[in-house]
Amino acid sequence: MVKGRNELSSNRLALVATAFVALACAAILALSGWREWESRAVYLRNAEVDMTNLARSLTQHADDTFDLAETILAGMVDRMETGGTDPAALAKLQAFLQQRQFNRQRIRGIFVYDETGRWLATTEQINFAGLNNSDREYFQHHLARPDRSSFFGRPVKSRSGGQWIVTVSRRFNHPDGTFAGVVLTTIDVAYFLRFYEQFEVGTNGAISLLSADGILLARSGDDEGAYVGRDMSSAPLFREQQTRPAASVYYFKSPLDGLQRLSYYQRSSRYPFLVLATKAQDDVLAPWRQAVLARIAIVLGLTLLIALIGYYLIRQLAQRQRMATALLAKEADFRLLAEQSSDMVMRIGLDEVIRYVSPSSVRVIGWTAERLMGTQALGGVNAEDRLRVEQAVAALKNGEAEEARIVYRNRHREKGEIWVETALRVTRAPDTAAIDGVVAISRDMTKQKDLEDKLAVLATSDGLTGLANRRQFDERLADEWARARRAGGPLSLLLVDVDHFKKFNDHYGHQAGDGCLRAVARILAAQARRPADLAARYGGEEFVLLLPNTDAEGCVQVGERIREALRELGMLHAQNLPSRLITVSIGGATNVPREAVTECGALVAAADRALYAAKESGRDRLVMSGEVVAWPARSA
């Protein structure tokens, strides 16, 4: 009964906790959604303010431009009506227009036409004889109407320059009031485009200048004039202009590129046009979307964390019980495996004290498990290897690595010292997962290490003579060359070749030839008296002796000692006349490396040329490279 009551209470508590967690998660998500929607509205309102300020500024700019055009038109109409159109007056007018410096950035040109459309005068530097503009819309407008006000025409391509222009014109009359002609000013569409390019409206933003009846006069980014003159009167902005205010925020889908746009339009209070400044809504909201994705991810992560914590708390007690049982089973398995293993298994605490060691410790390092328990795990490590082992253990304890494998020398109870290979892996506390120690599995690697050392010697020595082989010589030459260049000291080299060795082999046999090579090798090895000196078999019957920190005089002395030792050896060689003894030809070279003037191969090449000279001059002699070839001079 009590058990059932406790279970019911636990179930009820679980339901309450689940409801609370669900309510908290729902509240967090709802508040986050409301906040993000508000931040979206803020982004849009800020963009609306930007577009409002921009449209108002651009409207003032356009008003000023058309003001200038009207001022010029008024002056020109007055001049035409008072001065007349006789040839003398026209000549004076043309001279005036050519000399007058107008603002060519805003007002492209000024033109005067008579009542038939014939050109009378212009600011353009062209021959206008025979040109007629009676077919233009603005001319027909003034011809048909006695109205003296300015006419703002649709954009046309200029007949004088070929570019798109916006026209502003006025009629002038004869003294009797009849139609006498038209005065026209033109404004380059490109002028507006250049001005609009100064404003940042985003990648897909645009600034447009439109006439009051919906004709597109200029649009930013339209350098080719593809949109100029397009009729936009069917757009809602113009269809509903009677019910719309003179200036307002305007959201619409552009009929030109299909993008949803946020904009602000401003109608001029003085002239028949409006300015429309727009940004693509996606461009405006792009930063908001990036930020909201990050914030949503955080909120979802937080919600998931709350749910997981609740789930974790409910299951924690049962999980701890299961964990304790599992740990007992694992500990039993661990001890069973460790005690049956031929390798030594240790469990080491964070204080580097041995907590457990398997019985195989006697076989590996000679000490019983009882003797090792409670001692320092690194106590028997060789002093030269200890720092490296400590660094590996420290990396494991600090969590920088989960496992490591190291080879080092360790004290043995009976053998003195052995090579040991140890695999290390961290252990973690079951409740906190924090690192609480290290498990080490060790085996005796002495035999393998000795074999590796022998293989390393074989890889760098000549099997017949026991000298260094060509590979070891090349490596040492490069090292000693670099060292001599740093220290500024000399480096010498002797190339030694057994004279007429093939004839010796043919006459006495290959076994005798091998013995001859070994005898020469012993003499060379005896002359490599310093630790840095190196005697090597260069190939066939050719040997080399590397002499660091040795000048040319010392190099000659060593070479002569080699020849003297061979004479004292007195090994017969009937085919080597006139001495009938084994002799050698020696080429020597000495150099003080200077920065990168020469490479180490040049030293060998110089000695080789000296050896060739020794052979050519009769063999059984030493020739130094200075007697054969000059070293490259260092540039000043």
pLDDT (tens digit, 9 = 90+) per residue, 224-234? 778 888 888 88
In this prediction, residue 590 carries a pLDDT of: 93
- The better pLDDT of the pair 511, 306 is held by 511
Once rounded to an integer, what is the mean pLDDT over residues 276-295?
86
Contact call for residues 474 and 531 (beta carbons, < 8 A): no
Using one digit for the tens of pLDDT, what is the confidence trace for 78-113?
988 888 888 888 888 888 887 765 556 778 888 999
What are residue 427's phi and psi, to 5 degrees? -115, 155
Tokens of 495: 């190339």
What is residue 191's three-state secondary structure? Answer: helix
Q: What is the pLDDT of residues 371-387, one digit of tens each?
A: 888 888 888 888 888 88
Return the pLDDT at 463: 81
- Report the DSSP beta bridge partners of residue 580: none
CB 95 within 8 A of CB 120: no
Q: Which pLDDT belongs to residue 250?
A: 85
**Which pLDDT does position 301 carry in this prediction?**
85
Four-point Cα dihedral 249, 255, 257, 261, nearest 10: 20
Confidence of residue 455 (pLDDT cuts 50, 70, 90): low
Are the beta carbons of 137 and 166 closer than 8 angstroms? no
Q: What's the pLDDT band for 299 if we cut at 50, 70, 90?
A: confident
Give the span between the Cα atoms of 604 and 474, in whole angstroms: 10
Most confident of 88-97, 285-294, 367-376, 615-624: 615-624
Name beta bridge partners: 443.
421
Instruction: Grade residue 611 by pLDDT with cuts at 50, 70 and 90.
Output: very high
How large is the average pLDDT for residues 501-526? 91
Contact 560, 501 (CB under 8 A): no
Residue 339 has a pLDDT of: 56
Q: What is the mean pLDDT of residues 297-323?
A: 71
pLDDT above 80 (res 471):
yes
Locate 238 and state its tokens. 């113009």
Confidence of residue 308 (pLDDT cuts 50, 70, 90): confident
**Per-residue pLDDT reduced to its tens digit, 583-608:** 999 999 998 887 555 688 889 999 99
| Residue 567 near residue 581, CB atoms below 8 Å | yes
| Other Cβ atoms closer than 10 A to 464 | 13
pLDDT recorded at residue 1: 47
More confident residue, 14 or 214: 214
Q: Could you give the 3-state DSSP secondary structure of residue 117?
A: coil
pLDDT of 587 reads 94
Instruction: Give the mean model confidence (pLDDT) for residues 469-493.
Output: 90
Average pLDDT, the chain: 83
- pLDDT bracket for residue 48 (50, 70, 90): confident
Considering only 25-39, 147-161, 303-317, 587-601, which range has the smallest mean pLDDT? 303-317
Is a pLDDT exceeding 60 seen at residue 332?
A: no
Residue 249: name the closest of 39, 46, 57 by CA.
46
Per-residue pLDDT band at 454 (split at 50, 70, 90): low
Using alpha carbons, select from 274, 271, 273 the residue that is nearest to residue 263.
Answer: 274
d(CA 310, CA 388): 46
Lowest mean pLDDT of 218-222, 390-394, 428-432, 537-541, name the range.
Answer: 428-432
Domains of the chain in start order, with CATH, are 39-300 (3.30.450.20), 337-452 (3.30.450.20), 461-627 (3.30.70.270)
3-state DSSP assignment of residue 342: coil
Helices (H), 107-255: 137-144, 189-196, 236-239
Residue 492 carries which side chain, given as an amino acid letter?
S
**4-13, 153-162, 468-477: which range is least confident on average?**
4-13
Lowest mean pLDDT among 124-128, 338-342, 593-597: 338-342
Is there a cis peptide before residue 593, judged by omega within 30 degrees of 0?
no
pLDDT grade, residue 633 (50/70/90)?
very low
What distance in Å separates the CA atoms of residue 143 and residue 152, rounded to the nearest whole number?
Answer: 15
pLDDT given at position 635? 35
The larger pLDDT score, comparing residue 101 to residue 181, is at 181
Q: pTM here?
A: 0.45
Question: Sign of torsion, CA 218 222 223 224?
Answer: negative
pLDDT score for 438: 87
Tokens of 291: 């930020």
- The pLDDT of 167-177, averaged and rounded, is 91
Q: Tell me, what's the pLDDT at 14? A: 59
> What pLDDT, on the 0 to 100 scale, is given for residue 629?
41
pLDDT in tens, 400-415: 888 888 888 888 888 7
* pLDDT average, residue stretch 58-63: 90
Residue 44 to residue 64: CA distance in whole angstroms: 30
**Which segment of 173-187, 247-261, 330-344, 353-367 scores lowest on mean pLDDT?**
330-344
Query: What is the Cα–Cα distance from 32 to 28, expressed in whole angstroms?
Result: 6
pLDDT in the model for residue 511: 92
